[in-house]
Amino acid sequence: MNDDFLFSDDEPDTAEEDVSEPYNILIVDDDEEIHTITKMALGEFKLDGRPLKFHSVYSGEDAIAFLQDNNDIAMMLLDVVMETDHAGLDVAQWVRETRKNRLIRIVLRTGQPGQAPEEDVIARYDIDDYKEKTELTYRKLVTLMYSCLRAYRDLNAIERNKRGLEKVINASAEVFSARSMEALCQGILEQLVALITLSDDAMYCRIDALTASSDTDDPFEIIGGTGEYEEAVGQPVHGEIDWGIVRPMQQSPQNVDFRIVDGNYYGLYKTSSSRQYLLFIRGVRDLSELDQNLLGLFVNNSSIAIDNLQATENEREAQRELLYSVGEAIEKHSIDEISHHVKRSAEMAGQLAIFSGATQEQAEALKQAASVYDIGKVSVQMELAQRADVLSIHEYEEIMQKVIKGHDYLRQTDSAVAKVAALIAQDIHERWNGSGFPSQKSAKAIDLNARILTITSHFDALRTQRNYRDAKESEDAAEYLLQHSGKFFDPELVGLMLDNLDAMEKIRQRFLDKKQDTHL
């Protein structure tokens, strides 16, 4: 073995503690000495401030088992001849063809070059280099590490960019929904970080400056994240942010500002709607003026898009509230209380629809339709108010037909919500076993939205206090649904309702009834 390989440099007396995430290196060789020498020679090696972390296995079979459980190996130093004359070649082929891992850098090392000629191996196997152990001096080994790890780093950046682009493409088809905008924001952030900063950890945050407390240090909400922050989306910002840097930027008269401090990027943008967006990137490399401009454009343009979407969502919310008010007016039975029965039933119906596989858009249409489908009740309530005697069966049937007439009112418009409401009005009084009216439909011939709403409406009615009876406990209301499952109600939907009863009760708690102020 060459002395240049073994004893090229003295080790430093002290070593700083590495805090950067290391590159994982897998050594596959049946010679213990090779493991020891490799670790000694590369013990102080770093790329981009990141050290190496070594893992050792001693056969091709063990290498495959290790790689099945570890997907973050940057480079593999792989012996050719181990338990068989071609064990290393088998591992390389398994990694590329079976495991489909194109990122890991594979360097074959052999002490018996005649067993696997270099030209043949290079031509047949997707490897990055082929070295004889006797020629692999310290300097050549260091050069090899630089070339392979730089390739691994850049390939990872390209892969992150591809994933980000995929999210952008998928999200762009539904760009006007809040959920897809979050995906779009996340995808753009991943591309930006991968192409410009070469950092793994970044988060994009938002705050409403009008409602934020001046004495808090973590009012920002994470709306996009990569690396360590990817799982923190939707949570408040804690820890990482140096508020001594952010606060002066917030108080600055400039709408756009950024700082790079201790290798961390802080970019702040203030919108005309009094919201602020913060882009934080940890461990950035030196940024050119172009890179800085691109980061500023991202914060600027994405925040405007999100603000526009928020305005659209506010309009939708106002429309929902108006429809709920109309629905409550139709439903109203007593001047002594303000009931949110329609709103609760609609919100629970939307959630149950999602549990059953509906999209957000379909659930939203159901919630709005649930507010107005009962429009036929208006004329009924006026007629009942003028009656003092008991209704005959014939008169009762005539009045119920007027309730169902809501279908005729609603189907006259081309509105998507009105069409959903019309089908609900037509089928809401049908029963799963065919005993309902007006058409005695049964099972899945009944409109799905009508089947959903009749369950949530009955559940909420049972849970609500009335002048003529007390509200039932959640368990008793659930028992009623269960007893009538397969009779009045779709049994599959009842099962979904009962499996998610806690979620439904949380919805009910958001819209509690309250007594009307008699002094008004």
> Judging by DSSP bridges, how do beta strands 73-79 and 23-28 pair with one another?
parallel
For the CA atoms of 113, 118, 120, 123, the dihedral, rounded to the nearest 10 degrees, stands at: 150
**Catalytic entry in 167, 343, 367, 377:** 377
Please indicate whether residue 100 is annotated as part of the active site. no
Q: Is 148 exposed, middle or buried (0-12, 13-18, 19+ CB in 10 A)?
A: buried
Report CA dihedral (207, 212, 217, 223) to the nearest 10 degrees.
-20
The structure tokens listed for 72 are: 């973050």
Q: For residues 319 and 380, what is the distance between their CA atoms, to the nearest angstrom?
A: 26
Respond yes or no on whether the N-terminal peptide bond of residue 438 is cis (omega within 30° of 0).
Answer: yes
Of 39, 15, 285, the C-alpha closest to 153 is 285
Give, in order, the Cα–Cα distances in Å from 434 to each of 84, 317, 440, 445, 453. 72, 37, 5, 10, 17
Q: 């790890």: which residue's tokens?
A: 149
SS3 sequence of 29-51: CCCHHHHHHHHHHCCCCCECCEC
The alpha-carbon radius of gyration of the chain (Å, integer) is: 33
Tell me if residue 206 falls in helix, strand or coil.
strand
- Distance (Å, rounded) from C-alpha 147 to C-alpha 128? 10
Beta bridge partners of 26: 55, 76
Burial of 366 (0-12, 13-18, 19+ CB in 10 A): buried
Q: Residue 113: CA atoms inside 13 Å, Cβ hemisphere, count?
A: 9
Calculate helix-pair angle for 448-463, 501-510, nearest 10 degrees.
Answer: 70
**CB proximity list for 405: less than 8 A, separation 6 or greater:** 376, 379
DSSP readout, 397-419? Answer: HHHHHHHHTHHHHHTTS--HHHH
Task: At 146, list the tokens.
Answer: 């630089």
- Amino acid occupying residue 269: Y
Distance separating alpha carbons of residues 106 and 27, to the nearest angstrom: 10
**Residues recognised as catalytic:** 377
